Each structure stands twice: as structure tokens, then as C-alpha cells.
Structure 1
Amino acid sequence: MQVDISTKINTAGGVFLSVVPNLNSEDILKTVVLAAIGAIVSFILSMLLRLLIKKRKP
């Protein structure tokens, strides 16, 4: 079964247009805050792991 690009775009547009009316500003703010916290934690852990790996190598 072959699906062309216009079918994918139309499907994505339909999903987008059906989700947008159901979003609240509180939900968007909560998502932004949680994404920022996740990015900060991920960055800090990757830096700590990098330091631990450097210390173990002779």
C-alpha cells in the first residue's frame, strides 16, 4: 500500500485542527514548564555522566 505525501499532510492537518480547539492555555503553560524541566534535568545528567566517564579513563 503506497501513501503519497498529500495524504500524510491531510491527515496531520485534520488531527491538528481537531486538537487545537480542545487546548487550554493552562495545558500549554504546563506543557512548556514540564518540557523545560525535562530539558534541564537531561542536560545536567548528561554533563554529570560525562564528568564521571572522564574521571574513570586513565
Structure 2
Amino acid sequence: MQFNLNDKVCMVGGTVFGILPNIPPDDLIVTIIMAFVGALVSFIASMLFKYLAKLFKNKK
């Protein structure tokens, strides 16, 4: 059975909106904050490693 884009969007939307009312708002807020902090730390770490790699490459 082939699904077109509309069918996939409907299934994902139905699943998300079916699960969403069962998640406590406090947990949702904590999850959003933790995702933001994780992305920020990941970005800073990648910039730091990029800087260190450039620093060590120039020393040789």
C-alpha cells in the first residue's frame, strides 16, 4: 500500500495530537528547555573544537 504525502501528514498529525493531551505541561516545558540547552552546548562545543583544530593545525 502506497501512502502519499497527505496520508503521512494526517497520520503524524493524528498521532501527535493524540499523544499531546496526555503529556503534562510541566514536562513539556522542561523538555523544551533541556532541548534548547543541549543544542546550545553542542553548538558551543563544536565551535570550540573547530577553533582548537585550527589552532593545532597552524602550529605545525
Interval of TM-score (by shorter of Structure 1 and Structure 2): 0.7 to 0.9
TM-score (norm 1): 0.80
Equivalence map 1:1-58=2 (5 Å): 1-58=1-58
Which amino acid counterpart does residue 40 of structure 1 have in structure 2? L
Percent sequence identity is: 38
Q: Tell me the TM-score normalized by structure 2.
A: 0.78
- How far did 1:2 drift? 2.2
Once superposed, what is the RMSD of the aligned Cα atoms? 1.4
Question: Could you list the runs of 4 or more consecutive aligned residues of structure 1 that deviate by over 3 angstroms after TM superposition?
Answer: none
The one-character-per-residue Cα deviations of 1:1-56 (angstroms, maximum 9, x if unpaired) are: 42112211221121022112102111111112211220121122111101111112
